Amino acid sequence: MSLIKTSLLNGIAVAVKVSTAILLNKILALYVGPTGYAIIGQLQNTLAIAVSLSGGVISSGITKETAEHFYDEARQHAVWQTAVRLTLAATIIASISLMIAGPWLSNLILQRLDMSSVFVFAGLSLPAIAINNLLLSIINGKKELGIYITANIIGSLLSLAIGALFTYKLGLYGALLAIVVSPAILLFATGALVSRSSWFKAKFLWGKSQRSVLRELSGFALMGLAATLAAPITYMFIRDYLAMSLGLNAAGYWQASWKISEIYLMLVTTTLSVYYLPRLAEIRVAHELECEIFKVYKLVLPVAVIGAFAIYLLRDFIVQYMFSHEFEPMRDLFIWQLIGDVIKIGSWILSYIMLGRAMVKSFVITEIAFSLSFCFLSILMINSYGLSGVAIAYAINYCVYWGVMACLVKREMRKMVSSTSVIEVVLPQLNQS
């Protein structure tokens, strides 16, 4: 499927997701305020870590392996079966850990002793969330865009309904509860959708693990672990530092600005996941990779720039109608946050190549290094410029990251050219012999 067609179809799901996110965002702003927003951000990052440790770290690997062996169903089934066993084993450990450590996590992460039951519900929800994510990774690798989009639309509507109801009835506790429960309920919809496909049978998910598949997925597990732990822990650290330096409200303002970025960049980021990653897994020739990169840049980067410019012009309207007057100080974050968003998308177009090409060592090192540099830059800039310093640090960090990605991709393409040249020399000799 072409990039433009994928973007247009994916745009339907994104339109629904953006609409529901805006509505839910307004409800949260009214009922929990800036401090509640900061706490919600902490829980979302914690849940992201738990989901990834429950098998989410291999999601990209499942998608890549499924796409790469598109016409080899036996290999695909081996990948799925190995992934299911890994996911179940990891989920059991993570679920029990969350439930046992609930009171400690509530005090440490949420700075509230009365929210420990949220982590019990998170532990109970985790197996369903993990299996749902596994199915979505398979669907993405099979390029079943219709199922993928429908599942995402249902997920968006469920998140809005559950989040609005729980928040209205239970306030901040309800909002936190909705975050951990709504992704688990989506499994019923995804399961029903995928079960209608001719290529899918439940028996394809259960069988013996294969060592060759395990080796392939272990590389993605390392990459996923690096990304999963580095990014959320970094964001949690920065929120804590903002709260200590400028107050919990400041952490809420930054979380709100981050949420705006997530909402308007959904079309770009989901297109990269749905179209770009499976496409990269198929490419074997350097020239083809280069053409694909430029094609994505020509479509995706202008969208990010136009979106950022529109958000900046509408910043006062957004603060007033998407949030409330309590969030007025976040206005100072817009310019640098939006510049950082555009630079981030530019760098991500290149960084996805590390996933598509399984560049494990480079991915792990850069994820950890730039997470640490974001923390360091944030401390430095917050101390110098106050609240806007965190957005300045964000833009600077991704600017350097983009440069590093360009160097790594250039080196990888040189390797591809060299390997192609070797094949062109050796293959004719083998045919003659």
C-alpha–C-alpha distance, residues 430 and 84, integer Å: 40
On whether residue 429 sits in a domain, the answer given is no
On whether residue 430 sits in a domain, the answer given is no
- Residue 432 CB partners (closer than 8 Å, separation 6+): none
Q: State the Cα angle at 345 between 190 and 310, rounded to 5°.
A: 95
Which amino acid is residue 300, in one-letter code? V
Give the pLDDT confidence of 318-329 residue by residue, as tens digits. 888 778 788 888
pLDDT of residue 403: 93
* Average pLDDT rounded to a whole number, residues 132-151: 80
Which amino acid is residue 4, in one-letter code? I
pLDDT of residue 426: 40
C-alpha–C-alpha distance, residues 200 and 74, integer Å: 12
- Residue 341 CB partners (closer than 8 Å, separation 6+): 261, 265, 304, 308
Is-above-0.85 flag for pTM?
no
On whether residue 427 sits in a domain, the answer given is no
On whether residue 73 sits in a domain, the answer given is yes
User: With 0-12 CB in 10 A as exposed, 13-18 as middle and 19+ as buried, what is 19?
Assistant: middle
On whether residue 318 sits in a domain, the answer given is yes
**Is the pLDDT confidence value at 184 over 80?**
yes
Which amino acid is residue 426, in one-letter code? V
Q: State the Cα angle at 193 between 187 and 197, rounded to 5°.
A: 130
Q: Do 286 and 413 meet the contact criterion of CB atoms below 8 Å apart?
A: yes
pLDDT of residue 377: 95
**Is the pLDDT confidence value at 146 over 80?**
no
pLDDT of residue 382: 93
pLDDT of residue 326: 80
Neighbouring CB atoms inside 10 A of 114's CB total 10
Residue 431 banded pLDDT, cuts 50, 70, 90? very low
Which of 89, 79, 86, 91 minimizes the C-alpha distance to 210? 79
C-alpha–C-alpha distance, residues 373 and 89, integer Å: 34
Tokens of 425: 């020399």
Match 């989009």 to its residue by tokens. 149
- Residue 161 CB partners (closer than 8 Å, separation 6+): none
Q: State the Cα angle at 61 between 268 and 54, rounded to 5°.
A: 95
Q: Do 120 and 77 meet the contact criterion of CB atoms below 8 Å apart?
A: no
On whether residue 175 sits in a domain, the answer given is yes
Domain count, the chain: 1
* Average pLDDT rounded to a whole number, residues 367-374: 91
Of 51-55, 89-93, 384-388, which gets the smallest average pLDDT?
51-55
Strand, helix or coil for residue 111: coil
On whether residue 431 sits in a domain, the answer given is no
pLDDT of residue 130: 86
pLDDT of residue 155: 82
pLDDT of residue 309: 92
Neighbouring CB atoms inside 10 A of 90's CB total 20
- Tell me which residue range forms the domain holding 91: 3-421
- Residue 104 CB partners (closer than 8 Å, separation 6+): none
pLDDT of residue 14: 72
* Average pLDDT rounded to a whole number, residues 268-277: 70
Give the pLDDT confidence of 382-429 residue by residue, as tens digits. 999 998 999 999 999 999 999 999 998 888 888 777 655 444 444 344
Of 197-206, 254-263, 271-280, 327-336, which gets the smallest average pLDDT?
271-280
pLDDT of residue 36: 81
Average pLDDT score over the chain: 80
On whether residue 426 sits in a domain, the answer given is no
